[in-house]
Amino acid sequence: MRLNAYLSRAGVASRRKSDELIKAGRVRVNGEPGELNTFVGSRDVVEVDGKPVAKQKLAYVLLHKPAGVVTTASDPQGRPTVVGLVSHSSHVVPVGRLDVETTGALLLTNDGPLAHRLAHPRYGVEKVYEVETWKQPTDGTLRKLAEGVKLEDGTTAPARVRRLAGARFELVLHEGRNRQVRRMVEAVGHRVRRLHRSVYAGLKLGKLKPGEWRELTRAELTALQQLSG
């Protein structure tokens, strides 16, 4: 694997920051300065600032993200982060994002290639949201959401919509635009009161309470790998 991916999986830094370490000459592979195009094999010895780095075991974690937590590894404003909620021996990072006030299913992993494929529009990973608005939407409004609404970055793809109760409905998307659900709801004249992602790529929270996490089962991991080719 590429050197920056190796450092990222080892929990040293993100790929982008790993590139900066490499450019600064702080990374050596088998005693030689690492390059951006250096590939690391199983027998290679990698050091950062003279200290050996070991590749971590691949890990896959499902977190029930609570409200008020940001989907990043660190936050300049000092807010709690999803990475801070997961006390895992391997350094895992979130796949995609959920808004700070959005709750629900969030996958974290150190498997960079899998995370990249899951985030790629080509695979159309399914995401199920439970949406509550301040006022009860009409059947016509829900139909508009299902057919696709015009946003500043283009019309959304058709979605599945199911009314739950009162001002609550379920919205199933295969896209992953920034703040997409909130923008779609605003485009049809409503505002989101509560937003919860109940399912991500087939992963369900089950009995996980907000802030709790668990390892994926072997069956779940196999299904994810098949989903992402």
Tell me which residues are annotated as active site: 99
Name the nearest CA neighbour of 10 among 60, 49, 58. 58
Joined together, the tokens standing for residue 4 give 């920056």
DSSP letters along 100-144, please? TT-EEEEEEES-HHHHHHHHSGGG---EEEEEEESSPPPHHHHHH
Name the nearest CA neighbour of 12 among 24, 152, 120. 24
CA–CA separation, 152 and 174 (whole Å): 18
CA–CA separation, 148 and 145 (whole Å): 5
